[in-house]
Amino acid sequence: MSWKDNRRANLTIQAIANILDTNGIDLTECFGDTAIDIKQILNADVDIPNQTEIEVIERAVEVLPKQAGYGVKAAQALDVTNFGVLGLAILTSPTVRSALEAMASFSEVSILLSRVSFRESLGRVAFILDMEHLPVAIHRFTFERYFYMTLRFLREMSPDYDASDFELQLPFSDPHYEQELAEISGLKVRSNQPFYALIASKELLDLPVTNTDPIAHNHFLSECQRILNETNKFAGFAQKVRNYILQEKNFSPKLTDVANSLFISDRTLKRRLQEENHNFKAVVMDTKMTLARELLLAASLPVKVVATRLDYSESASFLRAFKKWWGVSPAQMRAAQSQPLAKDSEVQH
């Protein structure tokens, strides 16, 4: 299962809906020309896939006035409990260093859309955000949400630490945005840096965590590892194929196009997949069917919409492929999940 298929609570989408409403933007009109049923998502009792959240954020930042702070506002609706078992692993860490190592190691199973790492150099530490797998349009939003949530974590772990010397780094120059971000965050902002990063004094890493519990910490880390192992059913080149499909939204990709995007030959890609006990067609189908399940169950989209999004010319063809893959029809799967069936969940021919 790809990280984009992971489910999450719809808290960020609720926050985005509030931001849109505050700016006088009608939700129905905002998403009217997309496959996203925003009101259905907001009312959903189930979690939503990462991919849906990405698409909602991308649409929102497209229509909202261009300014800093939307990611911060979204982060204000979240707290440590929204990180689940990873949040518990962080808060029970013996030191800030071990907490940040946990966040970096298991960011893929958290509510973060980005991957996190940290580097130490010359008395400073950089918490770096990797967002190459995300649309560029949502990078600023994602970074704002990340640094605000990180600062909140640090305040909970070490309430007495003075974070006023923290610094935000941006990989571009936009003086107006930089000024707005500095005013919102109260931190120094540097532009034209190598990556998006939060910079702090290295001494922060060795601070003890107030509510440390080593036994509980190790237990929570083990649980995070179990979840990550389940998430990373695919790895290596199989995952690269999945990433290509989801990023390009090309659900009928040609092997040549994927190989070209990886700067390798068709033969090399086939061989790499074989070495991982995969083949190209199977990875493509698994990606499509996993996303189909999430769109049907979590996003509650009609079969016809899901079929169109996944490049099926007819709903009947999609229904046959879905039942062959999962062993049940979309209607049966929804019934098993105790979700109400959409009126057009089956198309008769």
Kindly state whether residue 32 falls inside one of the protein's structural domains. Answer: no
Give pLDDT, residue 158. Answer: 84
Tokens of 332: 């049966």
Q: 189 and 257: one domain?
A: no
Nearest-angstrom CA–CA distance, 160 and 117: 24
Q: What is the mean pLDDT of residues 325-332?
A: 89
Q: 81 and 196: one domain?
A: yes
Is residue 81 within 8 Å of residue 87, measured between CB atoms? yes
Give pLDDT, residue 225. Answer: 83
Task: State yes or no: pLDDT of 6 exceeds 50.
Answer: no
Task: State yes or no: pLDDT of 338 exceeds 50.
Answer: no
Q: What is the mean pLDDT of residues 252-273?
A: 90
Give pLDDT, residue 243. Answer: 81
Kindly state whether residue 155 falls inside one of the protein's structural domains. Answer: yes
**What is the band of 231 on the pLDDT scale with cuts at 50, 70, 90?**
low
The two beta strands, 167-169 and 188-190, are parallel
Q: 116 and 166: one domain?
A: yes
Q: 138 and 85: one domain?
A: yes
Give pLDDT, residue 10. Answer: 67
294: Cβ–Cβ under 8 A, 6 or more apart, which residues?
5, 7, 48, 49, 51, 52
Q: 202 and 244: one domain?
A: no
Q: Which of 190, 206, 222 is the last residue of a domain?
A: 206
Q: Which of 206, 228, 253 is the last residue of a domain?
A: 206
Give pLDDT, residue 349. Answer: 31
- For residue 249, what are the domain limits? 236-336
Q: 115 and 191: one domain?
A: yes
Kindly state whether residue 7 falls inside one of the protein's structural domains. Answer: no
Nearest-angstrom CA–CA distance, 214 and 93: 7
- Amino acid making up residue 119: R
Task: State yes or no: pLDDT of 261 exceeds 90.
Answer: no
Give pLDDT, residue 174. Answer: 95
Kindly state whether residue 37 falls inside one of the protein's structural domains. Answer: no
Kindly state whether residue 293 falls inside one of the protein's structural domains. Answer: yes
Q: 171 and 247: one domain?
A: no
Give pLDDT, residue 154. Answer: 85
**What is the band of 43 on the pLDDT scale with cuts at 50, 70, 90?**
low
Kindly state whether residue 343 falls inside one of the protein's structural domains. Answer: no
Measured in residues, the chain has a length of: 349
Task: State yes or no: pLDDT of 52 exceeds 90.
Answer: no
pLDDT digits (tens, 9 = 90+) for 108-157: 766 677 778 878 888 888 888 888 878 899 999 999 999 998 888 888 88
Kindly state whether residue 120 falls inside one of the protein's structural domains. Answer: yes
Is residue 52 within 8 Å of residue 40, measured between CB atoms? no
Q: What is the mean pLDDT of residues 278-284?
A: 91
Q: What is the pTM of this model?
A: 0.64
User: For 141, which DSSP code?
Assistant: H
Q: 85 and 183: one domain?
A: yes
Nearest-angstrom CA–CA distance, 303 and 344: 7
Number of domains, the chain: 2
Q: 179 and 247: one domain?
A: no
**What is the band of 348 on the pLDDT scale with cuts at 50, 70, 90?**
very low
Task: State yes or no: pLDDT of 193 exceeds 90.
Answer: yes
Task: State yes or no: pLDDT of 299 exceeds 70.
Answer: no
> pLDDT over 90 for what percent of the chain?
30
Q: 121 and 190: one domain?
A: yes
Tokens of 266: 């068709």
Give pLDDT, residue 144. Answer: 95
Give pLDDT, residue 189. Answer: 96
> pLDDT over 70 for what percent of the chain?
85
**In 21-121, beta strands by DSSP E:** 48-49, 115-121
Kindly state whether residue 145 falls inside one of the protein's structural domains. Answer: yes
Q: Which of 31-40, 42-51, 62-71, 258-267 has the lowest mean pLDDT?
A: 42-51
Which contiguous run of DSSP H or E holds residue 272? helix 266-275
CATH number for the domain that contains residue 249:
1.10.10.60
Give pLDDT, residue 187. Answer: 94
Of the segments 81-90, 182-191, 246-255, which one has the largest average pLDDT value? 182-191
Task: State yes or no: pLDDT of 345 exceeds 50.
Answer: no
Give the residue, 37 or 189, on which the prediction is more confident: 189
Q: Which of 206, 228, 258 is the last residue of a domain?
A: 206
Give the residue, 30 or 93, on which the prediction is more confident: 93
Q: Tell me, letter by letter, the H, E, C secondary structure of 278-296.
A: CCHHHHHHHHHHHHHHHHH
Give pLDDT, residue 3. Answer: 41
Q: 198 and 258: one domain?
A: no
Nearest-angstrom CA–CA distance, 66 and 177: 9
Q: 91 and 200: one domain?
A: yes
Task: State yes or no: pLDDT of 8 exceeds 60.
Answer: no
pLDDT digits (tens, 9 = 90+) for 311-328: 999 999 999 999 999 888
Mean of the per-residue pLDDT values of the chain: 82
Give pLDDT, residue 235. Answer: 59
